[in-house]
Amino acid sequence: MIRLEEVSARYRRSGRLVLDKVSLELPKGSIGVLLGPNGSGKSTLLKCVSGLMKYSGSVFVDDKPMEKLRLRERSSLLAYVPQDLSFAPSTVFDAVMVGRLSHFGLSPSEADQKAVWEALDDLGLRELALNNVLELSGGERQKVALARALAQNAEILVLDEPTSNLDIAAEMNIVSLARNLAKEKGFTMILSMHDLNLALSLGDHFAFLKGGKLLSFGGRDTMDSKTISATFGILAERVDAHGREYIIYGGKQ
Amino acid sequence: MPQELTRDFPNEMKVSNRIRWMILAGFLLLVIALFFISLMVGSSNMPFGESFMALFGQGSDVAVRIVQKIRLPETFAALIAGAGLSIAGLMMQSTLKNPMASPSTLGVSNAAVFGANVSIIGFAGGFLATGNNPQDFAVGANPFATSSIAFIFAATSTLLVLALCSIRSFSSETVVLAGIALGTVWTAATTLLQFFATDVGLSAAIIWTFGDLSRATFTMDYIMLAVVGLSAIVFFLLRWRFNAVAADERVAQTLGVHVRALRFVTLFLASLVTAVVVSYLGVIGFVGIICPHVMRRIVGNNHRFLIPGSLLCGSALLLLSNIVSHLVGGGTALPVGAITALLGGPFFLYLIFARKGAKA
């Protein structure tokens, strides 16, 4: 479970308010999707939650206040996957082993190796374990980053636009993996994305952000044409087809 | 492919790691061999057999004195300083995530050179005992005087850069730029100082900057060994933190790594190693840049192999350069700093252009 209470953040230099008293709560094993135009504060919110940016207000994981915990304690509760992935040249195995750092301290044990192989298997990466991570495709690297976060064995996974820069197949693949991880392994996920249809197929809860303010937060019902219009300034409609729901965009307000 | 599915990847990894350890063992043997060869060559043209016996105190007094009092501290210096410069370069490259980073990225060498110039030109001191004051060149004519003043400036410069970065930011760009700026200031100050030097003082100051292993004494070797040993141990213990920071600083932070503190400690230790080596032996370039890159291509990027590999590669290169500088010099040792670059440069170019792709 993760709970945000009136989280606000400012850019240090300009002092501009980029997040304005955002409060929300996600139950354990659920997926929360942050939606909003560029600059709405999605990435900032995820950075605050992950302790990478200073904020006022509180973030609770299982009722523990994150801002009062030490770095290492925090790392056992929450794993972060940034939007622009960066890796050093290393094998995929070593890249994922980095995720175990808070568990082993100085040197990985047999148990850490086992955890890494498990994380690699969860994401179908075993065959690539000995390859150079820099020689992988964008989709494969996204999986490596996810595997690293899994290996961390934290309850909350924070993913900043995990599907940006991926082709449709890789995008679908990541979304179905994320769903499985939440449903089968009980991870709570908070992630940001731009594609509303992808969000609808993945999320349990939706937070609509605009100008740093939380316009709306709730379950699948929140994803309606009124909220989408208010957030993005476009016309949109939610329709049923073949037993599934879709968002269809159209017109300009 | 069915064959693919039956591959035992954990075992394959063990095998490839074993190969890496064997490569490192090979390097260790090379270093040991070079160490003994280095003891056998020198300006006195003593035959190999006589040198070898002298190492164990057998033979003439002169031979024993040459091998044990001159060649041994010099060879130890090559062993330790080579390892030290190489590990300092690796630490700089890893912590700043910059392949061009070297032991002197923070301007440490420039500061040491300025300090030596102050000592030689300003105070007529230094190992050559020929300062800027021909009337009284005995003043401060002590090899440790120049080294000590060089070290004081190198250490001060390091602390200054680190203090400036502590105030503003420890981002790798800031650290590199601050190092370049401060290094340029020291070089400019050296130029001004040299402008006012006498011919003798100027030549003494310039000769000091040539890396020279023959200045080494056992005391210097012990001090260098302590600093290099400490840095290598700290670096090895923190290796997975470096792997994390090298991948992504933000992720490293969410994994519990104190990125700023790690960077501070690394920059401090790498600069300390450089300050000690340069203050004692003069400027020995290139070892710190080339050796870590050579080892990256041979044993990959995991610091578990890269740290011992860089230590061994640095020792091997400087020992080899010491041997070559004596053999080619014919009775006098050529500046070893130039030899390292002459030997290492072409080999490095070969590695860059001859092989496709880097090892993981």
For B10-52, write each residue's pLDDT tens digit.
888 889 899 999 999 999 999 999 999 999 888 777 888 888 8
* Spatial CA neighbour of B301 closest among B242, B230, B231: B242
Q: Tell me if A237 is assigned to some domain.
A: yes
Residues sharing a CB contact under 8 Å with residue B190, sequence separation 6 or more, in sequence order: B110, B113, B114, B117
* Spatial CA neighbour of A27 closest among A5, A55, A1, A50: A1
Say how far apart CA B331 and CA B339 lie, in whole Å: 16
Nearest residue of chain A to residue B13 (CA atoms):
A130
CB A220 within 8 A of CB A70: no
Contact A101 B12 (CB under 8 A): no
Say how far apart CA A212 and CA A229 lie, in whole Å: 17
Q: Tell me if A65 is assigned to some domain.
A: yes
Residue that is written with structure tokens 């994380």 in the block: A119
- A15 in helix, strand or coil? coil
Residue B167, CA atoms < 13 Å, CB-side half-sphere: 6
Q: Where does residue A224 rank: exposed (0-12), middle (13-18), buried (19+ CB within 10 A)?
A: middle
pLDDT digits (tens, 9 = 90+) for B164-205: 888 877 788 888 899 999 999 999 999 999 998 888 888 888
Neighbours of B211 (CB within 10 A): 27
- Torsion angle in degrees (nearest 10) through CA of B216, B220, B226, B230: -60
Q: What is the CATH number of the domain that holds A242?
A: 3.40.50.300
Q: What is the pLDDT of residue B147?
A: 84
B2-354, which class in CATH?
mainly alpha
- Which residues of A14-124 form beta strands (DSSP E)? 17-26, 31-35, 56-61, 64-65, 78-81
Q: Tell me if A92 is assigned to some domain.
A: no
Contact B301 A88 (CB under 8 A): yes
* Spatial CA neighbour of B276 closest among B129, B132, B87: B87
Transcribe B141-166 into DSSP letters.
--HHHHHHHHHHHHHHHHHHHHHHHH
Q: Tell me if A80 is assigned to some domain.
A: yes
Query: What's at A214, amino acid-wise?
Result: L
Q: Tell me if A172 is assigned to some domain.
A: yes
Say how far apart CA A109 and CA B236 lie, in whole Å: 16
Q: Where does residue A164 rank: exposed (0-12), middle (13-18), buried (19+ CB within 10 A)?
A: middle
End-to-end Cα separation, chain A, in angstroms: 37
Contact A75 B256 (CB under 8 A): yes
Transcribe A75-96 into DSSP letters.
HHHEEEE-SS----S-BHHHHH
Closest CB from A87, A130, A152 relative to B13:
A130
- Residues of chain A with C-beta less than 8 angstroms from the C-beta of B257: 71, 101
- What is the percent of chain B with per-residue pLDDT over 70, rounded to a whole number? 91
Nearest residue of chain A to residue B357 (CA atoms):
A135
Closest CB from A74, A82, A106 relative to B251:
A82
Query: In chain B, how long is the greatest CA-to-CA distance?
Result: 86
- Residues of chain B with C-beta less than 8 angstroms from the C-beta of A82: 248, 250-251
Q: What Cα–Cα distance (Å) separates residue B242 from each residue in B41, B239, B247, B257? A: 40, 5, 8, 9
Cα three-residue angle A211-A155-A147, rounded to 5 degrees: 90
- Residues of chain B with C-beta less than 8 angstroms from the C-beta of A85: 248
In sequence order, what are the beta bridge partners of A217?
A207
pLDDT digits (tens, 9 = 90+) for B125-174: 544 444 444 444 444 446 677 888 889 998 899 889 888 888 877 788 88
The bridge status of strand A17-26 relative to strand A2-10 is antiparallel
Report, as an integer, the average pLDDT of B260-273: 90
Residuewise pLDDT in 10s, chain A (253 residues): 999 999 999 988 888 899 999 999 999 999 999 999 999 999 999 999 999 999 999 999 998 999 899 988 899 999 999 999 989 888 999 999 999 998 887 889 999 999 999 999 988 899 999 999 999 998 899 999 999 999 999 999 999 999 887 888 888 888 888 888 888 888 999 999 999 999 998 999 999 999 999 999 999 889 988 999 999 988 888 888 888 888 888 755 4
Instruction: Retrieve residue B338's tokens.
Output: 């130039």
Residues sharing a CB contact under 8 Å with residue A252, sequence separation 6 or more, in sequence order: A233, A234, A235
Cα three-residue angle A144-A145-A150, rounded to 5 degrees: 90
Residue that is written with structure tokens 């602390």 in the block: B159
- Structural domain count of chain A: 1
Q: ipTM for the complex?
A: 0.89
Q: What residues does each domain of chain B span? A: 2-354
Determine the length of chain A.
Answer: 253
> Which H helix or E strand runs over B187?
helix B172-195
Smallest CA–CA distance, residue A250 to chain B, in Å, is 38
Q: Tell me if A28 is assigned to some domain.
A: yes
Q: What is the pLDDT of residue B2?
A: 47
Nearest residue of chain B to residue A105 (CA atoms):
B240
Q: What is the pTM for the complete model shown?
A: 0.85
Higher-confidence residue: B26 or B63?
A: B26
Nearest residue of chain B to residue A88 (CA atoms):
B247
Instruction: Retrieve residue A89's tokens.
Output: 């040249």
Residues sharing a CB contact under 8 Å with residue A28, sequence separation 6 or more, in sequence order: A1, A155, A186, A188
Q: Tell me if A130 is assigned to some domain.
A: no
Q: Where does residue B36 rank: exposed (0-12), middle (13-18), buried (19+ CB within 10 A)?
A: middle
The bridge status of strand A244-252 relative to strand A234-241 is antiparallel
The bridge status of strand A205-210 relative to strand A31-35 is parallel
Q: What is the pLDDT of residue B130?
A: 45
* A81: containing domain: 2-87+153-252
CB B110 within 8 A of CB B183: yes
Contact B360 A72 (CB under 8 A): no
Higher-confidence residue: B131 or B345?
A: B345
Rg, chain B, Cα only = 22
Transcribe A24-54 into DSSP letters.
EEE-TT-EEEEE-STTSSHHHHHHHHTTSS-
Signed CA dihedral, B216, B220, B226, B232: sign only: negative
End-to-end Cα separation, chain B, in angstroms: 24
Residue that is written with structure tokens 């094993």 in the block: A29
Closest CB from B247, B255, B301 relative to A75:
B255
Transcribe A129-180 into DSSP letters.
TTSBGGGS-HHHHHHHHHHHHHHTT-SEEEEESTTTT--HHHHHHHHHHHHH
Closest CB from A47, A102, A107 relative to B255:
A102
- Residues of chain B with C-beta less than 8 angstroms from the C-beta of A113: 10
- Residues of chain A with C-beta less than 8 angstroms from the C-beta of B300: 90-91
Closest CB from B10, B97, B256 relative to A101:
B256
